[in-house]
Amino acid sequence: MEDFANLIDRLIYTRSRNGKLDLIADYLREASDTDGGWALAGLTGGLDFPAVKPAAIRTLIGQRVDPVLFALSRDYVGDTAETVSLLWPQPGAPAAPPGLSETVVALQAMTCGSVQTDLAALLDRLDAKGRFALLKLATGALRIGVSARLAKTAFAQAFTLPLDDVEEAWHALEPPYAELFAWARGQGPKPDAAHRPVFRAFMLAHPLGDEQVDLADYAAEWKWDGIRVQLVRMGGQTRLYSRGGDDITASFPEVAADFTRDGVLDGELLVRGSHQGGEEGGAASFNALQQRLGRKQVSARMLEDYPAFVRLYDVLFDGGEDLRPLPWHQRRQRLEAIMPHLPASRFDLSLLIEAADFTALSLLRDGARDAAIEGVMLKRRDSAYSAGRRVGLWYKWKRDALTADCVLMYAQRGSGKRSSFYSDYTFGCWTAPPEQGGELVPVGKAYSGFTDEDLKWLDSFVRQHTTNRFGPVREVEKSLVFEVAFDSIHESNRHKSKLAMRFPRIARIRRDKPAAEADLVATLQAMIPH
- Domain annotation for the chain: domains and CATH numbers: 203-398 (3.30.470.30), 402-525 (2.40.50.140)
**What is the distance of C-alpha 378 from the center of its chain?**
24
Helical H runs in 325-451? Answer: 328-338, 358-367
Q: What is the pLDDT of residue 370?
A: 60
Q: Does residue 223 carry a catalytic annotation?
A: yes
Residue type for position 181: F
Q: What is the pLDDT of residue 280?
A: 46
pLDDT band at 296 (very low <50, low <70, confident <90, very high): confident
Do 379 and 221 contact (CB within 8 A), yes or no? Answer: yes
Given a cut of 60, whether residue 275 has pLDDT beyond it is no
pTM of the model: 0.73
Do 411 and 426 contact (CB within 8 A), yes or no? Answer: yes
Return the beta strands (E) in 414-480 as ranges. 422-430, 440-446, 466-470, 473-476
Do 489 and 503 contact (CB within 8 A), yes or no? Answer: no
Q: What is the pLDDT of residue 277?
A: 46
Looking only at the bridges linking them, the beta strands covering 402-413 and 422-430 are antiparallel
Do 134 and 126 contact (CB within 8 A), yes or no? Answer: yes
Radius of gyration (Cα) for the chain, nearest Å? Answer: 25
pLDDT tens track for 419-452 = 788 999 999 999 999 989 999 999 999 999 999 8
Q: What is the pLDDT of residue 381?
A: 97
Return the beta strands (E) in 301-372 as ranges. 308-318, 321-322, 347-349
Pick the catalytic residue: 20, 136, 152, 223?
Answer: 223
Phi then psi for 353, rounded to 5 degrees? -90, 125
Do 175 and 40 contact (CB within 8 A), yes or no? Answer: yes
Q: What is the pLDDT of residue 369?
A: 59
